[in-house]
Amino acid sequence: MQFNLVATDPQSKARAGVVQTDHGAIETPIFMPVGTAGTVKAVHQRELKEDIKAEIILGNTYHLYLRPGLDILEQAGGLHKFNGWDRPILTDSGGYQVFSLAGTRKIKEEGVKFKSHIDGSTLNFTPENVMDTQRTIGADIIMAFDECTPYPCDYTYAKQSMERTHRWLQRCVDRFDSTEPKYGYNQTLFPIVQGSTYKDLRIQSAETIASFGREGNAIGGLSVGEPAEMMYEMTEVVCDILPKDKPRYLMGVGTPANILENIALGVDMFDCVLPTRNARNGMLFTTQGIVNIKNKKWADDFSPIDAELGGYVSTFYTKAYLRHLIHSTEYLAGQIASVHNLTFFLWLVKQARQQILNGTFRDWKDMMVKKLMTRL
Amino acid sequence: MQFNLVATDPQSKARAGVVQTDHGAIETPIFMPVGTAGTVKAVHQRELKEDIKAEIILGNTYHLYLRPGLDILEQAGGLHKFNGWDRPILTDSGGYQVFSLAGTRKIKEEGVKFKSHIDGSTLNFTPENVMDTQRTIGADIIMAFDECTPYPCDYTYAKQSMERTHRWLQRCVDRFDSTEPKYGYNQTLFPIVQGSTYKDLRIQSAETIASFGREGNAIGGLSVGEPAEMMYEMTEVVCDILPKDKPRYLMGVGTPANILENIALGVDMFDCVLPTRNARNGMLFTTQGIVNIKNKKWADDFSPIDAELGGYVSTFYTKAYLRHLIHSTEYLAGQIASVHNLTFFLWLVKQARQQILNGTFRDWKDMMVKKLMTRL
């Protein structure tokens, strides 16, 4: 994997770059749609490529391990072949499920025991087997196995957990570096900075992670309920330590405003379920601000969802029609809203990139953050 | 509306024709995807047009009356403008809901009182206001208000109901002929033959319906649970009476085999929820036969869903991937399966038409019926 830094904004730490993978290039800053189980919910692969213009999508190790399972993925020749997505894929390691499935898992030094949310069976995830699993899934970018701590998290636990995540990282690296990709294209491993909302821990973790000298680095454990200002503070501290010549991926973030603020702090890559999950509940992110399409005010609004954004769904379908679909709990509602929101998120990062290249990012960002948070 | 009979099969009563409407031509025999609430479930309008190649879709008066409601539809300029479908639309009158919502409606001579399935409020449907409603929805083809009787149905009730349906038809015709279309294009009214599974009633009803001399005629009250042979017997009796120079629409039918057999008896138009409803349950109709995609045998079948059928979803996605999606209850499963099944149904009627034009329909039909009923 190659990363080329193309431009840096003069008035912020925003960067524009290009990540080269064997499945093609990714222009950064980038937003990565989440395809948990090998599908971005309610979105066809053709729409992802041609309408949304996604450059890389996520898969989730925990979910893919359970369904369709490693046998099927390996027989298919990896996830790209299985789901037909021929651009880059990044897989989360299961570290997020250590957080989100906290009620049904046990952490030990060796690894994590999960209870399957499908059939209750036991899953043992270790740093080593999570590397093997991601080798088999065939992601271009593989994440280290970590613990994503909750918010709030007491200092002692945050420190213990971070230190274990660092020990797990060494085990991940040892396993990853002693194994080969399975399908003829390269894979790379990103380590993850933890440390909860404690500045000193974040500094310690960022220094540790940077010392591994991997091809890219991630920031985890944020966007788990902490105030946005606290997230920005942590991101800034960490970005100032992580190497400039490697891409920085802020996991699970976030709203359009969160994304722009974090780009300003030096983040290159983002992912979040927000655009698709909120779409299914009728929350639209548009070039003019936030629309709750369920509201009565849209019932007789026959204007396109977002004429300025462009693209098939946003210009073809009207607000009134989409409101009708969501009130009628029709499948098409989630389909339209998901494609629209993802198109918007990809448009947003592409705009941000252009502003960075123009050297005008900072002022544009300040203006956009206000606009995008407006509720229409 | 114009109907031109183009060809008749020498060895059956199958016909090929063209229905001309102000929203374009429909080549018959045709299958009409069902878009109950102004959306064919899980299918984008672009997919309906470009992938499925639908020529006409259905809407349902009862559902559209409740949501989005007539005010919104009228403000939009009719259903075509509201949902963006610019080809022909046919609306069912609510007569099917007299059957399907039997527990919550009361039939009187004046009309039918429904209890809304959404909020329990009372709806009064009369032959007159159902014409007005369909004028407002703006369908190209409007159905008379009738009672679709259940199966089995005792003779006395079937006769009484049929006679009332005939009286209602006169009232529909009076209202329809004394009102004008609202949006600048023509609308036409199809009456509906009833009579349950009684040959003498079907004959009587077909003669009555034919005597109205409308531009097209429909056969209702079939495909409600009776054996297929009984359905074919009724269709044959009725088709032999309905005028040859008008299109014949068999409501709510059916499986691929049902469609081919009824084409052989002289039916021109079909609609059914089967391809979309069964799609969502994992039942696929393919050029090779019926596939229950949930079955274990497809778990490692990485071949396209239906290479012979062609089209994006059927050639791009594999059986193994679709099986994974349906087991994971992913939205995309219903989307893929719905587009596939509808593409197949439209392909099937197009093939049938070509065989009629070639004069080879009968043998082809006998071969296809066997093939299509095979469970793979």
Residue A324 lies in a domain: no
How confident is the prediction for chain B on average, in pLDDT? 97
Q: Which residues on chain B are in Cβ contact (under 8 Å) with A116?
A: none
Is A93 labelled a binding residue? yes
Q: How many residues can be counted in chain A?
A: 376
Distance CA B33, CA B376 (A): 25
Query: What residues contact residue B229 under an 8 Å CB cut-off, 6+ apart?
Result: none
Helix (H, G, I), strand (E, B) or coil at B81: helix
Task: Report how many domains make up chain B.
Answer: 1
Of B41, B75, B316, the CB nearest to A330: B41
Does B124 fall in a domain?
Answer: yes
Query: What is the rounded average pLDDT of the residues B309-326?
Result: 97
Beta carbons of B37 and A68 less than 8 Å apart: no
Among candidate residues B51, B92, B140, B268, the one labeled active-site is B92
Q: Say yes or no: B35 contacts chain A, CB-CB below 8 A.
A: no
Ligand-binding site membership of B194 (annotated): yes
| Cα–Cα distance, B134 to A162 (Å, whole number) | 66
Place of tokens 């082809």: B364
Is B331 close to A332, i.e. CB distance below 8 A?
no
Residue B327: list chain A partners with CB under 8 A. 67-68
Residue A109: what pLDDT? 97
Q: What is the largest CA-CA distance in chain A?
A: 61
Residues β-bridged to residue A2: A20
At residue B257's C-alpha, the angle toward residues B252 and B260, to 5°, is 85
Closest by alpha carbon to B273, among B68, B18, B3, B43? Answer: B43
Residue A213's pLDDT is 98
Query: Hey, how many other C-beta atoms are within 10 angstroms of the C-beta on A370?
Result: 11
Q: How far apart are CA A238 and CA B70, in angstroms?
A: 57
The answer as to whether A333 is a domain residue is no
Residue type (1 letter), B292: N
Phi and psi angles of residue A283, each rounded to the nearest 5 degrees, phi first: -95, 120
Instruction: Summarize pLDDT for A327-371 with one digit per residue, the tens.
Output: 999 999 999 999 999 999 999 999 999 999 999 999 999 999 999
Kind of pairing, strands B248-250 and B269-272?
parallel
- B70: in domain: yes
Model confidence at B98, in pLDDT bands (50, 70, 90)? confident
Query: Residue A176's pLDDT is what?
Result: 98
Counting as low any pLDDT under 50, the low residues of chain A are none
pLDDT grade for B99, boundaries at 50, 70 and 90: confident
Let me know if B92 is a catalytic residue: yes
For residue B212, pLDDT beyond 90: yes
Contact (CB, 8 A) for B40 and B342: yes
- Looking at chain B, list the stretches that DSSP marks H as alpha helix, in order from N- to C-terminal side: 45-46, 61-66, 70-76, 79-83, 95-100, 127-137, 155-177, 199-211, 228-241, 256-264, 274-280, 312-316, 319-327, 331-358, 361-373
The pLDDT of residue A370: 95
Residue of B49, B50, B321, B339 best to disrupt the A interface, most CBs of A under 10 A? B321
Domain containing A173 equals 2-279+340-372
The pLDDT assigned to A99 comes to: 87
Secondary structure (3-state) at B122: strand
Beta pairing, strands B269-272 & B30-33: parallel
pLDDT of res. B276 = 97
Instruction: Decide if A298 is inside a domain.
Output: no
- Farthest-apart Cα atoms in chain B, separation: 61
Q: Is residue A325 part of a domain?
A: no
Establish if A294 belongs to a structural domain: no
pLDDT of residue B353: 98
| Residue B308 located in a structural domain | no
Indicate the burial class of B245 (C-beta count within 10 angstroms; 0-12, 13-18, 19 or more). Answer: exposed
Bridge partners, B71 (sequence order): none
Beta bridge partners of A142: A91, A189
Q: Which of B347, B271, B325, B336 is nearest to B42 (CA)?
A: B336
- DSSP-derived letter for residue A145 is P
B41–A contact, CB cutoff 8 A: yes
- A339 close to A51: Cβ distance less than 8 angstroms: yes
Instruction: Give the pLDDT band (50/70/90) at residue B22.
Output: very high
CB contact under 8 Å between B84 and A335, yes or no, is no
**Is residue A230 within a helix (H) or strand (E), and if so which, with residue range?**
helix A228-241
Handedness of CA A101, A242, A22, A42 (dihedral sign): positive
| Predicted TM-score (pTM) of this structure | 0.97
Q: Which residues 295-334 of B are in CB contact (within 8 Å) with A?
A: 299-300, 302, 312-313, 316-318, 320-321, 323-325, 327-328, 330-332, 334
- The CATH number of residue A56's host domain is 3.20.20.105
Mean pLDDT of B82-109: 93
Q: Give the other-Cβ count within 10 Å of A227's Cβ.
A: 10
Query: Over the stretch B250-264, which tens digit does the pLDDT of each residue have?
Result: 999 999 999 999 999
CA A275 to chain CA centroid, Å, is 11
B234 contacts chain A (CB < 8 A): no
Q: How confident is the model at residue B273 (pLDDT cuts 50, 70, 90)?
A: very high
Q: Are strands A248-250 and A269-272 parallel, antiparallel or unpaired?
A: parallel
Does the pLDDT of residue B95 top 90, yes or no? no
Is residue B189 within 8 Å of B176, Cβ to Cβ?
yes
Query: In which band, very low, low, confident or very high, does the pLDDT at B238 lie, cut at 50, 70 and 90?
Result: very high
Rounded distance between C-alpha atoms, residue A357 and residue A313, angstroms: 29
What angle, 0 to 180 degrees and rounded to 10, lies between the N-to-C axes of helices A155-177 and A199-211? 10
Tell me, yes or no, if A68 comes closer than 8 A to chain B by beta carbon: yes
